[in-house]
Amino acid sequence: MALLNILRYPDPRLHKIAAPVTVFDERIKKLVADMAETMYAAPGVGLAATQVDVHEQVVVIDVSDDGKNLQVFINPEIVWASEDKRVYDEGCLSVPGIYDGVERPARVKVRAFDADGKAFEVDADELLAVCIQHEMDHLKGKVFVEYLSPLKRNRIKTKLQKEERELKKKAG
């Protein structure tokens, strides 16, 4: 397994639309394992392949308290979403240190495949529902800050660009 580099907003590669996975092979299993290792090390509760510059529909999530309930969603699709909405403070490994409220359906039903290509469905609410929707947005080339006002989004972009410049200066 290997730690992967997580793209930082506003990197344009975060806006690429991910292609469906068509072959469930060892490469996909390795990608899933590397993504899980990267997510846990970050630390985070979800990671989409887009965030590690792999533009395929692969998501790993673990919202458990002990970090021992990895869930893999390949080619996920929401087949049902509740009409009732909730606002959750979301954060993102590609937008470090930034948290803000995003309104999403409170519950969803998702159909996806696991790393072996076996289809499954899951009913999700609370943090899992938020996380699934957040990571699926990445697969569509959307970052959570795009739900925020243009003013907030521009402030976040400026802040992260400044941090990136400072990191590059330190690296020499």
Q: Does the annotation place 92 within a ligand binding site? A: yes
DSSP annotation string for 75-125: EEEEEEE-S-EEEEEEEETTEEEEEEEEEEESEEEEEEE-TTS-EEEEEEE
Q: pLDDT tens-digit profile of 105-163?
A: 999 999 999 999 999 999 999 999 999 999 999 999 999 999 999 999 999 999 999 99
AA letter at 111:
R
Rounding to the nearest 10 degrees, give the CA dihedral for residues 90, 98, 141, 158: 160
pLDDT in the model for residue 71:
98
pLDDT in the model for residue 172:
74
Q: Is the pTM of this model over 0.75?
A: yes
**Phi first, then psi: what are they for 6, rounded to 5°?**
-95, 125
pLDDT in the model for residue 164:
87
Q: pLDDT tens-digit profile of 84-100?
A: 999 999 999 999 999 99
Domains of the chain, by residue range, sit at 12-171
pLDDT in the model for residue 171:
84
Q: Does the annotation place 131 within a ligand binding site? A: no
Per-residue b/e over 107-124, b at no fewer than 16 CB within 10 Å? bbebebbebeeeeeeeeb
Q: Does the annotation place 55 within a ligand binding site? A: no
- Active site members: 135
Residue 168 pLDDT class (50, 70, 90 cuts): confident
Identify any residues that bridge with 71 across adjacent strands, giving them in sequence order.
61
Would you identify the CATH topology of the domain 12-171?
A: Peptide Deformylase (3.90.45)
**Residue carrying the six token digits 């990895």:** 70
Q: Which residues contact 26 (CB under 8 A, 6 or more apart)?
A: none
Q: Which of 7, 123, 118, 138 is nearest to 60 (CA)?
A: 138
pLDDT in the model for residue 79:
98
